[in-house]
Amino acid sequence: MRFIITYYGYMDGSGEYYIVVDSEKCNGCGECVTHCPKQVLEIIQTMVDLEEQLVAAVKEEHRKNIKYSCSACRPEKATTPCVSACKRKAITCIWKPKAP
């Protein structure tokens, strides 16, 4: 059994923002990609520890801007479309802005 949980996003002075993909649960179906209104997600082929797998991932150009890319879906208030779309609960959202 192999699995890796990847946290896409960052923490900066204003808070923590991550889209988390569990590659054990993810089967690369792409539902999350279809439901994302901002094209933040994609399905990639990744090799970790010498094995290949298709998994969901946040696109490279959005990883450092995730707070802004995902803000329209209001992750701090509600379940985002990508999370709702996933039947295997492979994708989750951690959104912790610091109080102003």
By the criterion CB under 8 A, which residues form the site for another protein? 2-7, 10-14, 16, 18, 46-50, 61, 63-65, 67-69, 71-72, 74, 94, 98, 100
Among residues 27 and 46, whose Cβ is nearest to another protein? 46
Nearer to another protein, 2 or 89 (CB): 2
Nearest to 35, CA basis, from 88, 83, 68: 83
Give me the phi and psi of 46, to 5 degrees please.
Answer: -125, 145
- Least Å distance between CB 90 and another protein? 14
Q: Which of 60, 58, 68 is nearest to 33 (CA)?
A: 58
Please report the beta strands in 1-100, taking only residues with DSSP state E, as ranges in sequence order: 5-12, 15-22, 41-48, 51-58, 91-97
Shorter beta-carbon distance to another protein: residue 37 or 88 = 37
CB of 38 vs another protein, minimal distance in Å: 10
Query: In the bound complex, what is the minimum distance in angstroms from residue 85's beta carbon to another protein?
Result: 21
Between CA 85 and CA 80, with CA 64 as vertex, the angle to 5 degrees is 20
User: Closest separation between CB of residue 88 and another protein, Å?
Assistant: 18
